[in-house]
A = this chain, B = another copy of it.
Amino acid sequence: MSENIGIVEAFIEAWNKYDLDTVEAMVTPDIFYHNIPMEPCIGHAAFKGFVRSFHASSANWVIHAVAANGPLVLTERTDEFGFADGSKMSIRVMGIFEIQDGKISKWRDYFDPAEANPIPKS
């Protein structure tokens, strides 16, 4: 298995523990993070601000497919977030990561923003 795939898997494990300190430590200072339907976050401070803005309390991201080509790791995932009130949000997404010196320097996620709404508790 590509070492870079292992880095992305560890990054998603950190999300799934909702260990945001580790998430933030795994990206480069000049991280370029782009949720394609939104404006990109450039640099560590912007990344951290975005990550802390979710107000989620848990995550369960499932990798359906992953492949690497040199420094690039491409994924197909379902990203589920849980919130303190018991609601959940589930987004079908493909994302690409670029690894530089063992850290994530670029990350772009492609999805339909209409899915990025919490699921009512019913």
Contact = CB atoms under 8 A, between A and B. Distances in A.
A72 interface: yes
Nearest to A64: B96
Copies in the complex: 2
Interface of A: 36-37, 65-69, 72-76, 92-96, 108, 110-114
Contacts of A93: 110
A39 to B, nearest CB: 13
B110 A113 contact: no
A110 B37 CA distance: 11
A96 B96 contact: no
Query: 5 closest pairs, A vs B, by CB?
Result: A94-B94, A67-B67, A67-B69, A74-B74, A37-B112
